[in-house]
Amino acid sequence: MKKVLLLPLLGFILITKAQVGIRTDAPSSTLDIAGSLEASYREITANSTLSATDYHVSFAGTSAATANLPQMSTSDGSASDFRGRKYFIKNNSSSSNLTLAAASGQTIRIGGSNAANNTYILSPGVLGILTANATNGWDLDLAVNTIPDTSWKITNNAFNGTLNTSQTIPTGTTYQTITGSSVTVTVPPGYNQSIVTLNFDGWGHTYFSGVSMGSLRFQIVQTGTAATTYGSTTMSSWAAPVNTSGYYRYTFFPAAYSISNLAPGTYTFNLQVVREGEAGSAPNEVVIWGVQSRAEVYSKN
C-alpha cells in the first residue's frame, strides 16, 4: 500500500518543480535566480572558434581578428540543435575590429535595413549578443558605449619623392615607368569600405626646334596583392606654333586617381608615361626631371 501512495506523490513533486527557484521559495518563472549568475568567461587576442563551453568572450587583440561561430542545426531535437544558445562577445580592443563569422551557409541577422550576412564586423567598444535562431543562423543584438564610428579615417599612407632624375623618355608605343614614382601602401582588414587615393606631381621639359607639338599620356600600374593597370589617368601637351631655334617647353603633370574597395593587402603603384600625337619637328629630347608620389588609404565601417 505504501508503494502505491508514493507514485501520486512523486507526480505532484514533479509538477510543482516545473518552476525552479534559487534562493527563492516562490519562483515566478521557469528559472528564478534571486542572486548573481556566474558563467564561462574567456579572453581572446587572435582568431578563435567558439564552442559549447563559451558564454562571455572578450576580445583584446592589437590587430583585427575573427571569432568563428559553431555550425548549428535547425532540426529540432538533434545534437547540434542549440537554438536559444547565447554568446556575449565584447570588443575591448582600442582600435582593432573583430569579425563575427557564421559557419558556411549560415547567417547573422540584425534586422532593419541590414541584410542577413555570413559575417559582421564588431567595432571596438561594441558588445554583441548572439542568439542561435531557428532559421539557420544567429540573431545579433548590439550594445555600444557611444554612437558607432562610421566616419572615414586614414589607416595607411606613404610618400616618395625623387628630384632631378633626368630620365629621357624615348619615342614609341611602350609605356616607360617613371623613376622614383613607386609608392607602397597596405589596405587593412576589418573594414567594410576602403578608398586608396593616389597623387603624382611631376615636372620635366621638352626641347625642340621649329614648329612642334605633342603629348604625354600617363597610366598607373598596380602590383602586389592584386595587379592591374589604370589607363589614361592624365595627359600633358606641348606646342610651339611658330618656328623657333632651340626652345624649351617646361612641363608639369599632376596625376590624381582613387580606387575603391581593394581587397586587404599590400599594393605598390608606379606612374608610367608614353609619348604620342607628335607633329611638326621632332623634339630633340623629352625629359622627366622628377616626381613626388603620395598614397593614402581611407577606411570606414
214-268: pLDDT as tens digits: 899 999 999 999 999 999 888 888 777 666 666 667 778 888 999 999 999 999 9
Q: What's the confidence (pLDDT) of residue 56?
A: 96
| Three state DSSP letters for 141-201 | EEEECCCCCCCCEEEEEEEEEECCCCEECCCCCCCEECCCCCEEEEECCCCCEEEEEEEEE
Q: What's the confidence (pLDDT) of residue 17?
A: 59
Residues 118 and 109: their CA atoms lie apart, in Å, by 9
Work out the angle at residue 16's Cα, subtended by the Cα atoms of residues 10 and 21, and round it to the nearest 5 degrees.
125
Residues 44 and 62: their CA atoms lie apart, in Å, by 11
Fold of the 38-144 domain? Jelly Rolls (2.60.120)
* 0.75 surpassed by pTM: no
Contact of 271 with 182, CB cutoff 8 Å:
no
Residues 6+ apart with CB under 8 A from 168: 285, 286, 287
Grid cell at residue 80: 547540434
CATH of domain 153-300: 2.60.120
For 97-121, b where at least 16 C-beta lie within 10 A, e where not — what string?
bbbbbbbeebbbbbeeeeebeeebb
Contact of 126 with 59, CB cutoff 8 Å:
no
DSSP character for 118?
Answer: S
Q: Does residue 171 carry a pLDDT above 70?
A: yes
Convert the pLDDT of each residue in 15-74 to its tens digit. Answer: 455 788 888 888 888 888 888 888 999 999 999 999 999 999 999 999 999 999 999 877
Of 59-68, 149-158, 189-198, highest mean pLDDT = 59-68
Q: Where are the domains of the chain?
A: 38-144, 153-300
Check for a shared fold between 38-144 and 153-300.
yes
Grid cell at residue 283: 623634339
Residues 87 and 80: their CA atoms lie apart, in Å, by 16
If pLDDT is split at 50, 70 and 90, which confidence band does 1 have? very low
Side chain identity, residue 34: A
DSSP character for 282?
Answer: P
Q: What's the confidence (pLDDT) of residue 236?
A: 83
For 23-36, b where at least 16 C-beta lie within 10 A, e where not — what string?
eeeebeeeeeeeee
